[in-house]
Amino acid sequence: MTMREAISRFVHDGDLVVIEGFTHLICFAAAHEIIRQKRRDLTLCRLTPDLIYDQLIAAGCARKLIFSWAGNPGLGSLHALRRAVERAEPAPLELEEYSHFGLVARMSAGAANLPFWPLRNYRGSDLPAVNPQIRTVECPYTGEALATVPALNPDVTIVHAQRADASGDTQIWGLYGVQKEAAFAAKRVIVVVEEIVEESVIRADPNRTVFPGFIVDAVVHEPWGAHPSYAQGYYDRDNEYYVAWDEQSRETERLERWFKEWVYGVADRAEYVKRLGSETVARLSAKPRISAGVNYGY
């Protein structure tokens, strides 16, 4: 399926959308297509909103943000997010805030089809005072008061991965964050991959599979779809892009020009990669570090 078709069919106005990936495998290609298709009133959820949600917020797609750490790693603020929170530009943005553990636990509950998840956390912190969704429950065995967070069940989760077969049996290596939980918690799952492979490739190394195709609604083949994030074994993180975004995103006029050039001005990811240029592609392409296979025989 093309990205255009996948977003058009499975991401709707008003949806709760999760595009996960902790530094690794963040699907910017999907976000840019959501912006091109002008989705509105989305509730966006991610541990680290990162540049990807800063872009969606700047484009006016979001109504609410559920998060646990909102910054440009090592560089400071997300400026579009701050404009939305501090000045309601381009639209007001509601915040619902957790710590990483809390948000991971919400996705764990969602994936397990439980109403909430208990955790030993938040005592001595102001976070429950500003987020009424963080509550406590008495343990029926020990009487201990445990913090709880409610299940998160996204309308749609978008996962970027190194490879999948045509039916969506998906394999990831390197950091996989909460990609599994986010996918199993969701009503609809879109998988975006660097490579589509034969089912036999998946079957040859089953321990690397993060989820099976039967929970997947759409498989999109989109090489370099995670840039400026990275895909282990394919391309490195484009740290220069993250640094440039700090300047790029400070003024709305500059940002408009950026959107015209890199989002509205390209039809799809293939055109984006062409615009990125061979120099950048060469700079970021991964050097080989091949892992030996194992014996699955019996």
Partner 1 sequence: MAVRAARELHDGDVVFVGIGLPNLACNLARATHAPNLVLIYESGAVGAKPERLPVSIGDPALVTDSLGVASMSEVFQWYLQGGRIQVGFLGGAQIDRFGNINSTVIGPYAHPKVRLPGSGGACEIAIHAKRVIVVAPLSARTFPKDVDFLTSPGQVNKYGTRRSLDLPGGGPVRIVTDVGILAPSLEDGELELVAIYPGVKAEDVKQKVGWPLRVRRDLVTVEPPSAEELHLLRDVLDPDHLYL
What residues make contact with partner 1 under the rule CB under 8 A? Answer: 22-24, 47-48, 67-71, 73-74, 77, 81-82, 85-86, 97-101, 104-105, 107-108, 119-127, 130, 144, 173-178, 180-181, 230, 232, 236-237, 239, 286, 289
E-strand stretches of the chain: 16-19, 42-45, 62-67, 94-97, 116-119, 135-138, 145-150, 156-164, 170-171, 188-196, 209-211, 218-221
CB of 282 to partner 1, least distance (A): 17
CB of 84 to partner 1, least distance (A): 10
Q: How far apart are CA 158 and CA 190, in angstroms?
A: 5
Structure-token pair, residue 284: 């970021």
CB of 281 to partner 1, least distance (A): 16
The 8-class DSSP code of residue 172 comes to -
Nearer to partner 1, 100 or 135 (CB): 100
CB of 149 to partner 1, least distance (A): 12
Nearer to partner 1, 185 or 263 (CB): 185
In terms of C-beta distances under 8 Å and separation of at least 24 residues, what long-range contacts does 235-242 make, across chains too?
Answer: 235/281, 235/284, 235/285, 235/286, 236/284, 236/285, 236/286, 237/23, 237/284, 238/280, 238/284, 241/51, 242/51, 242/72, 242/73, 242/74, 242/75
Nearer to partner 1, 200 or 291 (CB): 291
Nearer to partner 1, 1 or 85 (CB): 85
CB of 6 to partner 1, least distance (A): 25
Helix (H) or strand (E) holding 32: helix 28-36
Nearer to partner 1, 114 or 267 (CB): 114
